[in-house]
Amino acid sequence: MATDGNKKLTGKVAVVTASTEGIGLAAARRLGEDGAHVVISSRKKENVDRAVTELQAEGLSVMGVTCHVAKEEDRKNLFDKAVEKFGGVDILVSNAAVNPVVGGVLDCPGEVWDKIFEVNVKNSLQLSQLAVPLIRQRKGGAIVYISSIAAFQPAVLLGAYSVSKTALLGLTKAVSQQVACDNIRVNCVAPGFIKTKFSDLIVNTPEIRDKVVEAIPLNRVGKPEEIAGLVSFLCSDDASYITGESFVAAGGMQSRL
């Protein structure tokens, strides 16, 4: 087992959005276990407090900041608090996403489309605009966007959401090209069906779950921890020559655009 002195993220500071449950919480925990100081964030203070208490009880170095990523003042405060507490920022994991509608892309009302793209794409860009100058001060670091297998295989009932997640693949390419000269690496993780609150309907409905699992070569739904390991790898020096890429972790589901 790695000691504190040789963990791969020792001394790094990671900001993780939507990190009080599911993939976000698992990523925050894994980054902390790998030595990073982690800033937990979410819209609801009680959820932030609960996650911070949970991870601190495990001996991890974390702090919590209430942050609605669609609010400019909250985004700024998130990074201000990270710098105030830990002295800088090395890593951004942009995980916040919404899907307020179920239906095909052509049936999506304009205001709902705008909301999905604001949170899932625009806010990821805006968080990056705040993170990059801070990471640049540290002479390099990493940004990881959390996309979805739906970016590659659009789900009929998640039409607008699927398109927004495809947009993150393009954002990854564009941002990575601009910041490579600063030794900032930008990559994307596209999870498949993972057991989280977001997928509760699928996972907890046997007839739906069984149909989904049939389409997964590994024949099971994934765990948040399996995504967290990939996120931590991409944030570490083990991935020091990887940037601008999107990595699918979906149990073997097809993933070609």
Burial class (CB in 10 A: 0-12, 13-18, 19+), 122: middle
Q: How far apart are the first and last CA of the chain?
A: 39
Q: Which residues does 162 contact at the CB level (< 8 Å), separation at least 6? A: 105, 148, 150, 151, 153, 154, 155
Q: DSSP secondary structure string, 8-32?
A: TTTT-EEEESS-SSHHHHHHHHHHH
Helix (H) or strand (E) holding 185: strand 184-191
Strand partners, 164: none
Instruction: Check: CB of residue 80 under 8 Å from CB of residue 97.
Output: no
Cα distances (Å, whole numbers) of residue 80 to 65, 115, 131, 218: 10, 26, 10, 42
Name the residues annotated as catalytic. 161
Single-letter amino acid code for the residue at 156: V
CB atoms within 10 A of CB 149: 23
Burial class (CB in 10 A: 0-12, 13-18, 19+), 136: middle
Q: CA–CA separation, 89 vs 68, rounded Å?
A: 19
CB atoms within 10 A of CB 207: 7
